[in-house]
Amino acid sequence: MANVTILSHPLIKHKLSIIRDKSTSTKQFKECLDEIAGLMAYEISRDLETKEVEIETPICKCTAEVLAKEIVIVPILRAGLGMVDGIRNLIPTAKVGHIGLYRDEETLEPQTYYAKFPKEITEGTVILVDPMLATGGSLVAGIDILKGKGAKDIIYVGLVGAPEGIARVQATHPDVHIFLAALDEKLNENGYIVPGLGDCGDRIFGTK
């Protein structure tokens, strides 16, 4: 699939197996989610642009490389919050915006209730995070909002995706690269990913 990368790192696979397990505690779930997000951030950051700058070491002046663009992490609330710390631990200078969406239980379509971003989204690299890519409705809505605010360089990072959601995002926003820890089988009749890991927000915050 074009613009889709499945990050099949052994540690990501191992930790994903832990959070899929329904017996995993809230504490362990959040810890593993932080670790997976950090591992994924390390993998996706290899493609970030750099630029040359002149610095002075304790020995002499030299040319070094730094990130060419500001990084902005934008979680889709509320489950996306669970991935912010893991990414920000690796990129502590990243700014953070927020998109608040909820899914209508009947239509499965997203409804917006909050959106706020730092000014850097227009020229920076935006990492849009939401653990589950199910129908794709929330992700498409999130990308629509970001582009409406002037974002031009957007990548999506999630844990688990379904083919239906990927197809929807590719059809509407083919320029957005999708990074996932796993591609699952399908959606069930209720719009949940199979085998998935349940409601990620509930499992992060202990509201299941």
Active site residue ranges:
103, 107, 199, 202
Instruction: For residues 98 and 84, give the distance between their C-alpha atoms in angstroms, rounded to a whole number.
Output: 11
Instruction: For residues 69 and 33, give the distance between their C-alpha atoms in angstroms, rounded to a whole number.
Output: 26
Q: At what angle do helices 26-44 and 81-90 cross, to 10 degrees?
A: 50
Contact 103, 138 (CB under 8 A): yes
DSSP 207: -
* 51 half-sphere exposure, CB direction, 13 A CA radius: 5
CA terminus-to-terminus distance, the chain? 34
Find residue 103's DSSP bridge partners.
110
Instruction: For residues 127 and 101, give the distance between their C-alpha atoms in angstroms, rounded to a whole number.
Output: 17
Residue type, position 30, single letter = K
Contact 141, 115 (CB under 8 A): no
Burial classification of residue 174, based on how many CB atoms lie within 10 Å of its CB (0-12 exposed, 13-18 middle, 19 or more buried) = exposed
